[in-house]
Structure 1
Amino acid sequence: MLLLPLLALAAYLFCFLSFFLDGQAQVLLKQRQVSVTKGHKTTTSVDCIAEDIPDFQSAYIHWYRQVPSKAPEWILYIGPGAVSYNDNSYSNKYSSLKEGTNICTFTISDINSSDEGTYYCVFGSGTKLIVSGKWYVVRSSPPANSEILQKKHENQIIYVCLIEKFYPEVIRVTWTDDEKEVTDNVVKGDTWQSTKEDEYSIASWLTVPAENKDKKYYCKYEHEEEKASLPTQGIFYMLKMQFDVLL
């Protein structure tokens, strides 16, 4: 399992992006999936969405794999109609293709435990592959419960987004207002495992000025194929005892 220092990796891989795409620093590559859970002997695909590449079919898109305590390993790149591999034996395991004007797909075949890791297209946020211990079984479950709790403290309002009982533990949590993502005064806690095996929970905090009490914020999460958005309006206030326990 992997919690990656994304800033260091982003800086490392950004050098490759600048070189291979002729210094087009405005190019953005995004990966939609935060994690994918698959069983042994199965096949999975991860997509990478490119923005602002004028001639996408001629561009070089690189794929890397990161495992704990090791440097990112370059697997392949796909250029104008051809794929080049770091090792020729990789052609039996990995493949890549471009679709339309902005989607590059990376496929891993005949999955086994050694394939577990985080896969990146250049400096994307990464998609984590989790291999299930059961043969031919995909073992994942979306959050069983999610809610926003509220606490007013002096001239501030603190919202706590609580997301419970999901597997695998990889989840993306963000806060937004009606227009854009909110990053100031946001704290994301680490996932914790409940008493039941393979159930995880997470909490994220947003602090806003008290005068924003009528403004609507949203806690959004992405987990495997599940996406949800929870509004702050219409929520229940937290009891002080509950709040102290959470913090």
Structure 2
Amino acid sequence: MIRPAMNSLSDFIDFTSVWVTEGFARDDVPTNGYECFTINQSPDSITKFVPVQSTLYTATLKCTPSSSPGGNYIHWYIQKPNKELKRILYTLDENAVYDSGYNNEKFVTGKKNSEYSLTVKKLNIEDSGTYYCAVLQYFQKTQCIKLKIVLEIQFLLRKSPLCKDASVKRFGTGTKLSVISSQSVSEPKATILSSSEKEVQKTGKLIYMCVIQNFYPDVIKVVWNKEGNTADLAAEQGDIVLDDQLKTYSLTSWITVDKADYGKRFSCKYKHEGVTSASQWGSTSIGEGKAKKSIDVDDQSESCPNRNNSYFENVLLKPTTYQAAYITYTLLLLKSVLYCPILVLTYKFAA
């Protein structure tokens, strides 16, 4: 969900006042029984290969509120890359009211049980963007008890009434639609790297890094799990990076594990439309004290060998090794110097 940046208390109050009267729902502000109301959209992404000038392709986006909107309208929005959010239409059941520039020849709504849908017809590259489903909920004056603290702050700074009619618009998770004419969906390839045993002994912790590469499009969800526990672990994630040559994406996600858990099995799971399973989830695992690959926290460059490994210790760094090499080279040089006069004398006598 898109939210304006809040850098100060005044920014927060500005946003809160908008929220109270007509704005976006905030996850951290209770809303009189609606605090658990969520809107799930599926799938997370859709990629459609559409030949140039073809009008035969469509894409259907789904929206499922966690409870009935209760007679309130379903709103559909689109946000194109680097553009503002724009509403396409709002609807109750299948009777849609379209905003300027949109019509039912391009966008068709539907409903089946508690699931709402938006079908985009005659796909072209201009249809690419992220589509959001939203529900506008209304509150009476008697319903704003749980907003009391927020409204009191508003009252102190703005001198506005403590209680008034309000509305909240809750947005779904969004579906990214990519319409392309050349690139195809690519399944992610994942590998887990582990910090070296030396680093584990030094710090008492180890790092597992999940490197996910060669996927397209760039919409992906990554979570970590530990064996025997289905809860998602706290993890860090880098930026999604585009490979200009391959036109695919990659990212890294990592977790820090206590030494006591070293040897337990950990799984890096990722959801992407390129995964062939029905759930679109793929995974790779590591555990039992054996890493697939090893990384050193101090130096992760693969092009330069670790100077602490046995090769350098046993061969290149021992003084006796250098001395033996020096003596061997000196003997060979002396031998060649002695052979030279002998060869000259032999040649003269032969002549």
Same fold per superposition (TM over 0.5): yes
TM-score band, normalised by the shorter chain?
0.7 to 0.9
Whether 1:96 and 2:96 are equivalent positions in the alignment is no
Cα 1:76–1:216 change in 2 (3 A) is farther
**Equivalence for 1:179:** 230
Q: CA deviation at 1:115?
A: 1.0
Q: Deviations over 1:10-31 (max 9, x none)?
A: x89993569xx99723211112
Q: CA RMSD in A?
A: 3.2
User: Take 1:164 and 1:31, find their aligned partners in 2: how far apart are those partners?
Assistant: 25
Whether 1:231 and 2:285 are equivalent positions in the alignment is yes
Larger of the two Rg values belongs to structure: 2
**Equivalence for 1:155:** 204
**Equivalence for 1:106:** 118
Report the residue type matching 2:107 in the other structure. Answer: Y
Whether contact under 8 Å (1:168, 1:198) holds in the other structure is no
Whether 1:169 and 2:218 are equivalent positions in the alignment is yes
- Specify which structure has the bigger relative contact order, considering alpha-carbon pairs within 8 angstroms and separated by 6 or more residues: 1
Q: Deviations over 1:163-194 (max 9, x none)?
A: 11122222222223422222x3x221122233
Cα 1:115–1:242 change in 2 (3 A) is farther
Q: Deviations over 1:88-113 (max 9, x none)?
A: 74211112212223x22221111112
Q: CA deviation at 1:39?
A: 2.8
Gaps of 5+ in 1: none
TM-score by length of 2: 0.57
**Equivalence for 2:132:** 120
Task: Give the fraction of aligned pairs with identical amino acids, expressed as a percent.
Answer: 29
Whether contact under 8 Å (1:58, 1:80) holds in the other structure is no
Q: Which moved more, 1:160-169 or 1:30-39?
A: 30-39
The equivalences for 1:1-247 within 5 A come to 6-8=2-4, 15-16=23-24, 24-40=34-50, 41=55, 42-51=57-66, 53=67, 55=68, 58-87=71-100, 89-101=102-114, 103-122=115-134, 123-134=171-182, 139-143=184-188, 145-151=189-195, 152-153=199-200, 154-177=203-226, 178-182=229-233, 184=234, 186-194=235-243, 196-226=245-275, 227-234=281-288, 235-240=291-296, 244-245=300-301
Cα 1:159–1:73 change in 2 (3 A) is same
Q: CA deviation at 1:211?
A: 1.9
The size of the alignment, in residue pairs, is 230
Q: CA deviation at 1:48?
A: 1.9
Instruction: Determine which structure has the larger strand proportion and give its number.
Output: 1
User: Take 2:119 and 2:230, find their aligned partners in 1: how far apart are those partners?
Assistant: 35
Gaps of 5+ in 2: 6-14, 135-170, 276-280, 303-351
Report the residue type matching 1:128 in the other structure. Answer: K
Report the residue type matching 1:228 in the other structure. Answer: G
Q: Which moved more, 1:112-121 or 1:75-84?
A: 75-84
Instruction: Determine which structure has the larger helix proportion and give its number.
Output: 2
